[in-house]
Structure 1
Amino acid sequence: MRDRWICSVLESYDGDHSLAHRYLDGDGRTRELSRSALLGEVRARAGALTACGARPGSRVALLAENPGQFVPAFLGALWAGMVPVPLPPPPAVGRRTAWSESLGASLSVARPDLVVADEATLALIPGPSAHRASYEFLSSASAPISSAPAVLRPDRIAYLQFSSGSTGRPRAVAATAGSVTANGVAIMRHGLAADPRRDHGVSWLPLHHDMGLVGFVLAPITAGVPVTLLATKLFVRDPGIWMRTVSQVRGTITGAPNFAYALATRRTGHEQLDGLDLSSAHTLLCGGEPISPRTLRHFTEVHRAAGLDPAAVRPCYGLAESTLAVSFAPRGTAFRPDRVSWSHLRDHDRADPCGDEREAVEVVDCGRPFPGHEARVVDDAGERRADRQVGEVWVRGPSVCGGYVDDTGTGSAPFTTDDGWLRTGDRGYTVDGRLHLTGRLKDVLILQGRNVDPQRVEWAAEAAHGVRAGGAVAFTRPGADTEEVVVIAECHPRHSEQVGSTVREIVSLRLGLSLGDVVAVRPGTLAKTTSGKPRRQEMRRRYLLGHLHPENHQSHKE
């Protein structure tokens, strides 16, 4: 496997009739493309985008709706030397105002020369109406076909990727041709040992996010691995379609954030398990947000009856600023979290091993960085910390991108130190070079001088009867003497009366923390990023402003 730019790999697909992509669009239709057919569509879309006025270097915003439309258009933009900008499509129902505001903010940062979306979606896009084209037009345009791909230097911006965890002003990461190539090769060669003769990827992940776009479109192309891509709305409507598709196509590689594993487990009954055969799957990656050992353990236990190998579930770590992935837990090793002392982690930022069932908390091992890549944990002064000492994770290597789009919208501002280290904003520790992530710096709860990662509180709260999986957020509020912890928990109204006392009891028992307030809210109330991560600071703002109205929740204050 040579380290080649994606378009060079696509160029080699000419005359090759083996499967490249299978698309399941939101309307349920399936379409298969051979490698040769994919190349033909990519070249045709490059020609159609050129006919729309886009040129090499032009920014082309593409709303990531159905994969069968988006993927050839995105690759066509790369082929023509344009800079594609993947953006989220409108939600099927509700939250259209929030989507429109978020999209408008992203467009103001990206400043695209052309916007591409479904015909029906174009009218919903905020801003000037000029320089727009529909996917329907691109697929039917009789434009000259672009025969040869643009040649990109490694430092040339390939596309813009909005950071999925961004909850304030959108930040567009400038992914370079070099970083994309390096990360694709690292994922497929070193992380997965992928073999195009045996492997088949399956993904429903949103294609405007790095995990869906890089993990299941760009990286597989570097290795020639075929992929089945489902429209995200299919998973939203029916989470069981994920594992059913893996079973049907004999998928070997798939992945998703933690919340998806919880959803898939909750929506899978015995009758669904009876029809599944997951014995082909050797890798189920879990990343993109803090990983709950409880969630992965439950998923593995439920799906073992369908032939799932427990060693197939592999936690991983990455971020858009490093293209996608930094490390994978090793293949063929059963998932075993690190059990550490909660009091030492909370009070001393130390992850000391602990065998006491009541005192221990579990932290996921995300493996070692890929070859040629580095990671270290540092203190507030940037000094390296020893094994099992918690600090900020910094990463360095060829997958690190060029920076964020600068304020002028035309260039990129580096986000690394002078010697190439990327400050991730994530907290964690190492054990023999293996990364263990404990939380985000900006969300840490500081209580009487102690650092408490909010995920620990949220996971404990989710264990309360009636609280939805992934439906709790924790933050602090000013108290009389010190900061107090507040938990907002989504639950059905019939459970709201009991949730407050139950959450308090579980958090106190498991973590030794007292809660200042527990607010039970209806499902769908929590603010989240487009990738499903909780927007804790936004929920804190709403709470402090009194926007969680009494008629919509039960509050249980001390």
Structure 2
Amino acid sequence: MKTLVDTIISNKEPNARIHFIRGAEEEFALSYETLKQRALGLRAFLHGQGVTQGDEIILLSQRNEAFIEGFWAAILGGNPAIPLAFGISDEHKWKLFRIWQQLQSPWLLLDATQKERLEKFVALNGLNGLWQSVQKKSIVIEEIPPLIVADDFIAVEETDTAIIQFSSGTTSSPKGIVLSHKNILTNIRGIIKGMAMTEADSTFSWMPLTHDMGLIGFHLTPFVQGVDQYLMPTDLFIRRPWLWFQKISQVRSTVTCSPNFGYQHYLSALERNQSQDALALNHVRLIFNGAEPIAVPLVQQFLKKMQIYGLNDTAMFTVYGLAEASLAVAFPEPGKRFRYVTLDRERLQMNTQVQYTENGVSFAVEGKPIAGCFVRIVGPDQSNLSANHIGKIEIKGENVTKGYLKQEELNREVFHEDWLDTGDLGFLTTDGELVVTGRWKDIIFVNGQNYYPHDLEQILQSKGVTGTGRVAVTSVRGEGEERDKILVFILYKGRLPDFVPIINAVKGVVSEQLGIEVQEVLPINQLPKTTSGKIQRYQLSSRYQQGDFNQVIQELLELSAMDDEGQQGVSTIEKTLKGICDGLLANKRIDLDENIFEIGTTSLVLAQIHQQIEEIYPGKVEVTDFFDYPTIRQLASYINGKK
């Protein structure tokens, strides 16, 4: 099989199925053969609307069934598929238009609800001219008539583009990772071999299909192998995390996956007394752990908690990959216990030999390069480093992208002959296994997603929170912590009490625009820069970890403290909502009239708050209502008015 088209045409397991999980008791199954027929019909319809071979198709659907049919229609039509995550914030909508303007001849396949949201956004932002051109080449999924199957197949070459995976950049131009059919199939073959996948396996995933682990790892890989796959919507997992292993136990899937935040979210659900007594997980063979840096203490906590349900510690499969590699780079050996190394934190610099110790920083062992992919560790001068020396991780192979879309300067920067600079730091053990220790590039990992400091800085500048060139965003992760801590430094020389409103504004804007939490906003007299004017974020991170800002943090905490005691006239609904928020917003104090976004509420916590409100006041509040009623008092009044 040279292309994905060959894969679906020659599928040897026509009765294998995709099971779409819709709830605890609701499921829809589609055989691979039926999927092929539906995709062929949709491809014929799209071409009848004017889509021609080579035109790009942006997929904007929150429904897994519609997304997959649209994806395969694009593949069968010789059209590069562009998966696009579509959040509720304005920045996600801006991203669509920025991507559109990069493409040669794009089309948009979207849900009716997404179209309605876009139309409101366009009207508010004066984008009617651009929207008219987009609308002419948009196809609303709900408006597609009954499909008529056409059995003719379009010739596709293995070097043709199959997928363009765009980065999560928002304010700046998102970068498109161009993946050919050969890139993807090479990686899938390596994945199947590396995980020892057989016809006895079945997969289960709640990862979004717009993410490479969700699409390539847990849709295309089982499809190529011809085994059953189970797909649960991400928002269903967020609202009902216990369904993840409840369904796996019921259907006896052998392979599943999650980044760090998914394990934490599931464990938090169990702590809220959501019983899983009936679980039986002894059949689970592999749980892929990737998509963001792996937190060793969290893995240990998860395995300890789940062993009572029969989960073996050999199931934890700590892997390394990136979209530029199609997906996978390195896997551990299947069936081996979870392993990690503990290193001296003083010997984690570039070009330094690591020192193994009993007391230090722990990192997961992520295994050897999979078949078809090669890894090397190099120093700043591109010289090869020997085992146990930290350097830049570079990769090459037929699975690796040939470059970013229309980014010639970036391509020259990241490619060294055939080797791609991943932006990550790490080392190879004497046994040739990869350990990732940090990042060469300034990428921030939150809830399985990558965020770039300059994006956050531009958002704050565009919203008028800070002036141009007066803000630096970076991140740190301490020992035992499970996610990056986002730090915002602002050039400021005024009175400290006057800085408190700036803190609230920064946290509110980032939370509302991107749904992520800023942990610290700190004033600084000078931003460290290189001679060429680039901000040296690592210096700020280092100073923070050394405790240079501890005193100002304490002073700001005291200035920001709010006393909720003695409030009069608090209604029952207000008390209920405050109890929910106080329980989920750890280490924070929220006043009845305080904007929930200004205290750094993440999209994950927002979903948890909504879930608990839904249990008490069913059908009264949508997640989007938080944007219209962002304080407890306003939301309580809104709920009261709907009785």
Matched, 1:54 2:51: yes
State whether residues 200 and 251 of structure 1, in contact with CA within 8 Å, keep that contact through their aligned partners in structure 2.
yes
Alignment partners' CA distance in 1, 2:181 and 2:76? 12
Corresponding letter in the other structure for 1:268: L
Instruction: Tell me which residue corresponds to 1:287.
Output: 290
The Cα of 1:37 is off from its aligned counterpart by 1.2
Q: Secondary structure at the match of 1:60?
A: strand
Moved more, 55-64 or 270-279: 270-279
State whether residues 187 and 372 of structure 2, in contact with CA within 8 Å, keep that contact through their aligned partners in structure 1.
no
Instruction: Tell me which residue corresponds to 2:439.
Output: 440
The Cα of 1:331 is off from its aligned counterpart by 0.9
Output one character per residue of 1:283-330: Cα deviation in whole Å (capped at 9) or x when no partner. 101111111001111111111111111110011111111111101122
The Cα of 1:244 is off from its aligned counterpart by 1.6
State whether residues 242 and 276 of structure 2, in contact with CA within 8 Å, keep that contact through their aligned partners in structure 1.
no
State whether residues 183 and 219 of structure 1, in contact with CA within 8 Å, keep that contact through their aligned partners in structure 2.
no
Alignment partners' CA distance in 1, 2:210 and 2:236? 16
Instruction: Tell me which residue corresponds to 2:71.
Output: 74
* Higher alpha-carbon Rg: 2
Q: Secondary structure at the match of 1:284?
A: strand
Corresponding letter in the other structure for 1:208: T
Alignment partners' CA distance in 2, 1:435 and 1:528? 32
Alignment partners' CA distance in 2, 1:526 and 1:151? 51
Corresponding letter in the other structure for 2:5: C
Q: Normalising by structure 2, what TM-score?
A: 0.68
Q: Secondary structure at the match of 2:281?
A: coil
Q: Secondary structure at the match of 2:276?
A: helix
Matched, 1:472 2:485: yes
Corresponding letter in the other structure for 1:354: T
The partner residue of 1:231 within 221, 230, 233 is 233
The Cα of 1:333 is off from its aligned counterpart by 1.1
Q: Secondary structure at the match of 2:314?
A: helix
Residues 291 and 489 of structure 1: is their aligned pair in 2 closer, same or farther, counting only changes over 3 Å?
A: farther
Corresponding letter in the other structure for 1:288: A
The Cα of 1:64 is off from its aligned counterpart by 3.7
The partner residue of 2:16 within 15, 19, 26 is 19
Corresponding letter in the other structure for 2:113: A
The partner residue of 1:98 within 85, 91, 94 is 91
The Cα of 1:402 is off from its aligned counterpart by 2.4
Matched, 1:149 2:153: yes
State whether residues 350 and 391 of structure 2, in contact with CA within 8 Å, keep that contact through their aligned partners in structure 1.
no
Gaps of 5+ in 2: 123-130, 445-473, 494-502, 509-519, 522-540, 558-586, 591-595, 605-630, 632-643
Matched, 1:403 2:416: no
Output one character per residue of 1:459-512: Cα deviation in whole Å (capped at 9) or x when no partner. 55x5xxxxxx647324667899xxxxx9x999xxxxxxxx99xxxxxx99xx76
Within a 5 Å distance, the mapping from 1:506-517 to structure 2 comes to 513-516=547-550
Instruction: Tell me which residue corresponds to 1:542.
Output: none
Instruction: Tell me which residue corresponds to 1:120.
Output: 113
Matched, 1:173 2:177: yes
Q: Secondary structure at the match of 1:301?
A: helix
State whether residues 162 and 209 of structure 1, in contact with CA within 8 Å, keep that contact through their aligned partners in structure 2.
no
Q: Secondary structure at the match of 2:342?
A: strand
Instruction: Tell me which residue corresponds to 1:243.
Output: 245
Moved more, 24-33 or 256-265: 24-33
Q: Secondary structure at the match of 2:8?
A: helix
The Cα of 1:225 is off from its aligned counterpart by 2.1
RMSD: 3.6
Alignment partners' CA distance in 1, 2:4 and 2:601? 36
Alignment partners' CA distance in 2, 1:119 and 1:304? 44
The Cα of 1:167 is off from its aligned counterpart by 7.6
Alignment partners' CA distance in 2, 1:415 and 1:292? 30
Alignment partners' CA distance in 2, 1:244 and 1:282? 16
Gaps of 5+ in 1: 446-452, 463-468, 481-485, 491-498, 501-506, 531-550, 552-558
The Cα of 1:261 is off from its aligned counterpart by 1.2
Instruction: Tell me which residue corresponds to 2:62.
Output: 65
Corresponding letter in the other structure for 2:143: F
Alignment partners' CA distance in 1, 2:150 and 2:435? 46
Alignment partners' CA distance in 2, 1:335 and 1:76? 40
Q: Normalising by structure 1, what TM-score?
A: 0.78
Within a 5 Å distance, the mapping from 1:510-525 to structure 2 comes to 513-516=547-550, 518=553
State whether residues 403 and 415 of structure 1, in contact with CA within 8 Å, keep that contact through their aligned partners in structure 2.
no
The Cα of 1:38 is off from its aligned counterpart by 1.6
Corresponding letter in the other structure for 1:256: S
The partner residue of 2:422 within 421, 424, 428 is 424
Alignment partners' CA distance in 2, 1:164 and 1:294? 28
Q: Secondary structure at the match of 2:415?
A: coil
The Cα of 1:28 is off from its aligned counterpart by 8.0
Corresponding letter in the other structure for 1:233: D
Residues 529 and 149 of structure 1: is their aligned pair in 2 closer, same or farther, counting only changes over 3 Å?
A: farther
Residues 252 and 4 of structure 1: is their aligned pair in 2 closer, same or farther, counting only changes over 3 Å?
A: farther
Output one character per residue of 1:40-68: Cα deviation in whole Å (capped at 9) or x when no partner. 11211211221221111011111141111
Instruction: Tell me which residue corresponds to 1:548.
Output: none
Higher normalized helix content (fraction of residues): 2
Corresponding letter in the other structure for 1:68: E
Instruction: Tell me which residue corresponds to 2:328.
Output: 325
Corresponding letter in the other structure for 1:103: L
Instruction: Tell me which residue corresponds to 1:315.
Output: 318
Residues 278 and 9 of structure 1: is their aligned pair in 2 closer, same or farther, counting only changes over 3 Å?
A: same
The Cα of 1:39 is off from its aligned counterpart by 1.6
Corresponding letter in the other structure for 1:397: G
> How many pairs does the alignment contain?
481
Q: Secondary structure at the match of 1:343?
A: helix
Corresponding letter in the other structure for 1:438: T
Matched, 1:133 2:139: yes
Residues 420 and 167 of structure 1: is their aligned pair in 2 closer, same or farther, counting only changes over 3 Å?
A: farther
